[in-house]
């Protein structure tokens, strides 16, 4: 398995009241679709072997959020994907930190309806 079931359950709990339309196994991980749009994903970083979170925050929020603890630009394809961020474990291990990132992803998801 290319992602942590424990982390998947933590994300599911936080998305329980959101309109999760599908969980898709993609890109070696698990993507949570909310309102039929990619919202949050989880996988393991191949370089470090650690869990990581992917959040879709939109281009407008990208530049300010990339400097938060554990956050870095998403460069899954070798090119920066503006609007998406990778969050390393030090940015989501604490419940309040994971809550923060889920909230940011849901805010963008709702705004892009």
CATH, residue 61: 3.90.1150.30
Tokens standing for residue 44: 């393991």
For residue 57, which of 36, 96, 84 has the smallest C-alpha distance?
Answer: 84
**pLDDT for res 92:** 97
Predicted local distance difference test score (pLDDT) of residue 28: 83
Which residues, in sequence order, are CB contacts of 78 under 8 Å at separation 6+? none
Report how many domains make up the chain.
1
Q: Which domain holds residue 19?
A: 5-111
Alpha carbon distance 76, 55 (integer Å): 13
Q: What is the pLDDT of residue 77?
A: 79
**Digit-coded pLDDT (tens) for 71-87:** 999 987 789 999 999 99
Model pLDDT, residue 27: 75
Q: What is the pLDDT along the chain (113 residues), one digit of tens a residue?
A: 579 999 999 999 999 999 899 999 987 899 999 999 999 999 999 889 999 999 999 999 999 999 999 999 998 778 999 999 999 999 999 999 999 999 999 999 998 76
């Amino acid at each position: 398995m290319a992602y942590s079931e424990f982390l998947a359950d933590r994300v599911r709990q936080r998305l329980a009241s959101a309109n999760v339309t599908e969980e898709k196994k993609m890109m070696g991980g698990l993507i949570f679709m909310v309102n039929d749009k990619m919202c949050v994903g989880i996988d393991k970083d191949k370089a470090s072997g650690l869990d990581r979170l992917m959040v879709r925050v939109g281009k407008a929020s990208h530049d300010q959020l990339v400097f938060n603890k554990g956050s870095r630009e998403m460069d899954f394809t070798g090119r920066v994907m503006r609007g998406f961020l990778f969050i390393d474990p030090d940015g989501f291990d604490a419940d309040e930190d994971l809550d923060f990132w889920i909230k940011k992803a849901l805010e963008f998801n709702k705004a892009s309806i």
